[in-house]
Amino acid sequence: MDLIARLRAGLPGEAILTDPDVTGSYANDMASFCEAGTPAVVVLPRTVEQVQHVMRTATELRVPVVPQGARTGLSGAANASDGCIVLSLVKMDRIIEINPVDRIAVVEPGVVNAVLSRAVNEHGLYYPPDPSSWEQCSIGGNIGTASGGLCCVKYGVTAEYVLGLDVVLADGRLLSCGRRTAKGVAGYDLTRLFVGSEGSLGIVVRAVLALRPEPPQQLVLAAEFPSTAAACEAVCEIMARGHAPSLLELMDRTSVRAVNAMAQMGLPDTTEALLLAAFDTPDPAADLAAVGALCTAAGATEVVPAETAAESDLLLQARRLTLTALERVKSATMIDDVCVPRSRLAEMLDGTAAIADKYDLTIGVVAHAGDGNTHPTVCFDADDPDESRRARESFDAIMALGLRLGGTITGEHGVGVLKKEWLARELGPVGLELQRGIKDVFDPLGILNPGKLF
Amino acid sequence: MDLIARLRAGLPGEAILTDPDVTGSYANDMASFCEAGTPAVVVLPRTVEQVQHVMRTATELRVPVVPQGARTGLSGAANASDGCIVLSLVKMDRIIEINPVDRIAVVEPGVVNAVLSRAVNEHGLYYPPDPSSWEQCSIGGNIGTASGGLCCVKYGVTAEYVLGLDVVLADGRLLSCGRRTAKGVAGYDLTRLFVGSEGSLGIVVRAVLALRPEPPQQLVLAAEFPSTAAACEAVCEIMARGHAPSLLELMDRTSVRAVNAMAQMGLPDTTEALLLAAFDTPDPAADLAAVGALCTAAGATEVVPAETAAESDLLLQARRLTLTALERVKSATMIDDVCVPRSRLAEMLDGTAAIADKYDLTIGVVAHAGDGNTHPTVCFDADDPDESRRARESFDAIMALGLRLGGTITGEHGVGVLKKEWLARELGPVGLELQRGIKDVFDPLGILNPGKLF
């Protein structure tokens, strides 16, 4: 019996897509420079049982399975491989429970981040992780890639909000791991192992997520600096003095200009670095005043605290537009995701500027500065082979620099196809061997998202 | 060549203890009812290389290794097995780095929790995890058992503060995993896998820990309730309304009386439940007032906010004395560690009282109420075989109740020897199989702390 017929035995007709024109549109996530194959079929299950049927079928027939959420990922982790089953979880999008006493939500993987965020807001609760794609990306994808966002400097990453998971294993068995309690240490932390595993260990079909009380509306300050180094000095001072900003973002001159060019936001075109700091504390104006003084001491030429929520929103909107704006600079971009200790952030930014010079390229940098997490974005002409080669080389040079500074090749975007070779470099042979050993325990046949991570 | 001679080849003489009178004193941690064997030797290395030598020797000779910190654990995870090498990490007790900009500390495993806490305080920083044994217990032990404490309701458990680890593997190779950056998602989270693994996957020889800014001094409120159910209602209201107490503890009548009997602290002897709530916010008095009103609404008969830090310390001291006080009720105690969703806490406490009645035993309960984490402490006469049997049965009945209420058998004390059978029940066969698979990847010969966890 062939694959499609076998799938039909446990899935309704509308959950199986075989038209190549349609299935082809599921081949990629949003990463550049990542190979993608042609799927044999796309399945869109609505129940756990249907997912189990897909995995049992895949195991019997030894067919690779590529799990997908909203395909907003930036590392190719959701890219199809030739002949694979694309297992899209977007139809499993129910919010099963929101519990204000236990401060948890129980959700299916296809729930969109923003939908969940708004739903919990109505209960006075807050789900912090906020990747740039939060209006599109799914919770399952966030878990698979261990997404971050702007809020991480105060509230941490997706991993810190995943308490328990139901996972369909490679052979179709259902595993429940973790908990719905505030604490729990019963055995090895399998839940955490699945977070960031890019679908290579199992298919998440349900998640218990931790929530927080909704904080007060944040207020944002913008500070202009004559150099990225001065802005980084301010970042270090802010964090060393014990401040707890809800956001601490840096845009370099290239980013600021790109945003102005696209959206005429009136950002200061002549500044070398724009720092945005926000506080959602009981008295944000007082915190902004203190942080503004630190910025001035570090050399800021202008410090402008927003006085209203509307002004704050405008500044955040400018920040959130950066990647889209940088995409307009040239025909293509490659966005990097190197995270260094924040004490090394200035060196990371100076080094990135030197790399841009060396390779004669435009590289705009936006950074979650409070986390030391930079997104150098290489802008290039994809039709120019030499510029494309230089783009790829500069991208690698940026990762090498991050590792030299004690950092990691990926703060929040993951490895996927894009950074496989670099993962091996970062982990070293011993770490890589153990990671492969874990993969073999969960997926002995190697059918779960093969060719990703390792 | 025999074991001792082989060890001497890579360890100084004073690092090897073979006198049975001495080595016998390393046989146990602080758990009751847990078997312990007789070690062949105790080693006290001071360097990573010495630990590697121990593990290489153990691998060559197939000798089991039991890693130990300060042996304050409560589940027998550090208990010796017959003929084992006890690998005590207490001499590796250097604080290597405290970095206020990166908000991290780098430490060796033998550093005592309180020593680290005080050292980081001097830099205006805070290492939150605070197990009851914090004046004795070591960071390595805290990592091995994934310890909690009083602060968890606001600041989380040890796992959330471990960013990176250096680990000597079973065969003596050195693994560096994790990071010293604020974020990082490069591959599976091996760091988190080691936390709570009770020395069964490798020997932690260095840890990068996350720190927070030191919060303001907390202020404590005490509220008396006519029933544990009423106190639990207050707990649920406090959390559902979005308050962020830095501590939310419950002592039942038995606990309160035991503390008074031992230390004449003047706690209200007649109350059925005493709730302690604390805030380390900018305006703790205002928060205590709001929470006091919620307690009154839930039926509190008396609400007493501390007005000074000294009054707060006295209340905390009473709370911290509880286990010691309960140990004086009878000749022996068994302390349980069941964590339930906080919405089920009242049922957990009523059910525990019913179990005490059924088995005709005194069971004092102290709880990290904000986390739903209860420590029912069974007091019994160890010389009375029937009472001892009933104690063990009631201990198991409490875990069964916790699982029925959607909880876990261990919120923060771990599994060790004490709860091996219960771990299998909680995980189920699929989870257990995967956990054993992971164990085999890291320790194919089964020499690392055998007989624990599974």
Assign residue A386 a region: left if phi > 0, alpha if psi is -120 to 50, beta otherwise? Answer: alpha
- Is pLDDT at B293 greater than 60 in this prediction? yes
Which CATH number does B219-404 carry?
3.40.462.10
Which CATH number does A95-213 carry?
3.30.465.10
Q: Determine whether the interchain pair A181/B414 forms a contact, defined as Cβ–Cβ distance below 8 Å.
A: no
- 3-state class of B41 per DSSP? strand
- Is pLDDT at B1 greater than 60 in this prediction? no
Q: Are B165 and B191 in contact (CB under 8 A)?
A: yes
Q: Among B322, B315, B309, B130, which residue's Cα sits nearest to residue B223?
A: B315
What is the rounded end-to-end Cα distance, in angstroms, of chain B?
32
Q: What is the pLDDT of residue B229?
A: 98
Q: What is the pLDDT of residue A103?
A: 98
The upper half-sphere exposure of residue B8, i.e. CA atoms within 13 Å in the direction of its Cβ, equals 8
| Regions of chain A short of the pLDDT cut 50 | none
Q: Which two tokens stand for residue A97?
A: 């429970």
How close B448 comes to chain A (CA, Å)?
A: 15
**CA dist., res. B174 & res. B380, Å (int):** 45
Q: What is the pLDDT of residue B32?
A: 82
**CA dist., res. B297 & res. A417, Å (int):** 57
Q: Which two tokens stand for residue A166?
A: 């139901």
Q: Determine whether the interchain pair B182/A339 forms a contact, defined as Cβ–Cβ distance below 8 Å.
A: yes
Sign of CA dihedral B178, B184, B189, B194: positive
Residues of A in contact with B102 (CB under 8 A): 341-343, 372
For A410, the closest of B148, B169, B186 (CB atoms) is B186
Q: What is the pLDDT of residue B215?
A: 96
Q: What is the pLDDT of residue B33?
A: 83
How close A247 comes to chain B (CA, Å)?
A: 14
For B186, the closest of A103, A283, A409 (CB atoms) is A409
Q: Which two tokens stand for residue A165?
A: 């998971």
Q: What is the pLDDT of residue A1?
A: 57
- Is pLDDT at B265 greater than 90 in this prediction? no
Q: Which chain A residue shows the shortest CA-CA distance from B373? A: A183
Q: What is the pLDDT of residue A214?
A: 96
> pLDDT tens across B69-125, in order?
999 999 999 999 999 999 999 999 999 999 999 999 999 999 999 999 999 999 999
Of A90-99, A259-268, B7-16, B173-182, where does mean pLDDT reach its minimum?
A259-268
How close A263 comes to chain B (CA, Å)?
A: 31
Q: B interface mutation test: which of A142, A174, A188, A241 has the most B CBs within 10 A?
A: A188
Q: Determine whether the interchain pair A411/B183 forms a contact, defined as Cβ–Cβ distance below 8 Å.
A: yes
Q: What number is the average pLDDT over the span B233-252?
A: 97
Q: What is the pLDDT of residue A149?
A: 87
- Alpha helical stretches, state H, B44-184: 48-61, 113-121, 139-145, 152-155
Q: What is the pLDDT of residue B177?
A: 98
- Is pLDDT at B5 greater than 80 in this prediction? yes
Q: Determine whether the interchain pair B101/A282 forms a contact, defined as Cβ–Cβ distance below 8 Å.
A: no
Q: Determine whether the interchain pair B185/A99 forms a contact, defined as Cβ–Cβ distance below 8 Å.
A: no
> pLDDT tens across B121-149, in order?
999 999 999 998 999 999 999 999 999 98
- Is pLDDT at B266 greater than 90 in this prediction? no
For B186, the closest of A175, A283, A423 (CB atoms) is A423
Residues of B in contact with A214 (CB under 8 A): 242
Residues of B in contact with A201 (CB under 8 A): 188
Q: What ipTM was estimated for this complex? A: 0.96
Q: What is the pLDDT of residue A279?
A: 97
Q: Determine whether the interchain pair B157/A183 forms a contact, defined as Cβ–Cβ distance below 8 Å.
A: yes
Q: Determine whether the interchain pair B242/A435 forms a contact, defined as Cβ–Cβ distance below 8 Å.
A: no
Q: Strands across the sheet with A174-178, in order? A: A95-99, A104-107, A203-210, A162-168, A174-178
Q: What is the pLDDT of residue B149?
A: 87
Q: Are B106 and B96 in contact (CB under 8 A)?
A: yes
Q: Determine whether the interchain pair A438/B339 forms a contact, defined as Cβ–Cβ distance below 8 Å.
A: no
From the number of C-beta atoms within 10 Å of its C-beta (0-12, 13-18, 19+), residue A356 rates as buried
Domain boundaries, chain A: 95-213, 219-404
> pLDDT tens across B340-394, in order?
999 999 999 999 999 999 999 999 999 999 999 999 999 999 999 999 999 999 9
Q: B interface mutation test: which of A125, A185, A235, A399 has the most B CBs within 10 A?
A: A185
What's the pTM?
Answer: 0.97
Residues of B in contact with A174 (CB under 8 A): 430
Q: A interface mutation test: which of B123, B188, B347 has the most A CBs within 10 A?
A: B188
